[in-house]
Amino acid sequence: MKIITYNVNGIRAAIGKDFLGWLKNVNPDVLCLQEIKASPDQFGVLDFEALGYHHYWYPAQKKGYSGVAILCKQQPKHVEYGCGIKAYDDEGRIIRADFSDISVMSVYHPSGSSGDERQSFKMKWLNDFDAYAQSLLKTQPNLILSGDFNICHKPIDIHNPISNANSSGFLPEEREWMEQFINKGFTDSFRFFNKEAHQYTWWSYRAGARGKNLGWRIDYHLSSKSIDQRLIRSVILSEAIHSDHCPVLLEIK
């Protein structure tokens, strides 16, 4: 099974950059999208069906903002929209598809970069998401959390850890949260296979950052420890340019 996570920063804009051609070529079994920034009546969902995908969309209440989706070749036995907390569900941050022996979540963690209010919202979300994920593991032990976490876990995951030490997304408390969250039963599947530096999934649009590879690794597949033996490979697909993020592939048995 090939699972891809991709923050597309606007599905309509991505489609305008031949996203559908890319999807046909890469052909994942499951595609987790974040920041779709649209509802399904605003673009051609039939194009996804033509490629063989069942599709499930969870847009934000606010137009042109946030939103997540899951596309999959196999029809899930259940799709869960949201986490039951209105403040988060109104922003369209979680959707989960349960298959016969595995569950895949597309998740979009809040950013705190716009100021103190959203940073506080992000920290509350992190605490609540931790509790939610731990509860979920009891009923869905084979769980993959795929999405934009808006956190660089370690210095190796950011191009300049010193100058970004006080930047949202690399704050000590965010990194500590990521460490303890992973240690409670998850595997950072990309780092399971890849230990090299300069591996990023997001670049600022400013100052030619992508061309210089001045990036951050903030998009993850965190898989529950129970499926470590099923992991085959994980690769950052940096050649895909439909967004300021790029996709990340996880392949499992």
pLDDT digit string, tens, across residues 28-87: 999 999 999 999 999 999 999 999 999 999 999 999 999 999 999 999 999 999 999 999
Q: Does 148 qualify as catalytic in the annotation?
A: yes
- Kindly indicate the confidence band of residue 156, based on its pLDDT and cuts at 50, 70 and 90: very high
What residue spans of 54-115 are helical by DSSP H?
Answer: 86-89
pLDDT of residue 101: 94
- The pTM is what? 0.98
Domain range for 186 is 2-252
Quick one: average pLDDT of 199-221?
97
């992973």: which residue's tokens?
A: 182
- Kindly indicate the confidence band of residue 211, based on its pLDDT and cuts at 50, 70 and 90: very high
pLDDT of residue 198: 96
pLDDT of residue 129: 98
**C-alpha span between 15 and 22 (Å, rounded):** 10
Q: Which residues contact 165 (CB under 8 A, 6 or more apart)?
A: 172
Measured in degrees and rounded to the nearest 5, phi and psi for residue 92 equal 60, 60
Percent of the chain topping pLDDT 70: 100
Per-residue pLDDT tens over the stretch 115-142: 999 999 999 999 999 999 999 999 999 9
* CA distances to 12, 181, 193, 245 from 35, in Å: 11, 23, 27, 11
- Kindly indicate the confidence band of residue 172, based on its pLDDT and cuts at 50, 70 and 90: very high
Domain count, the chain: 1
Q: Which of 147, 127, 117 is nearest to 85 (CA)?
A: 127
pLDDT of residue 194: 97
Measured in degrees and rounded to the nearest 5, phi and psi for residue 99 equal -105, -170
Residue in 47, 89, 148, 219 annotated catalytic: 148
| CATH code for the domain of 247 | 3.60.10.10
Q: Which residues contact 109 (CB under 8 A, 6 or more apart)?
A: 93, 122, 125, 126, 129, 147, 148, 149, 150, 151
- 20: which 2 tokens? 């559908």
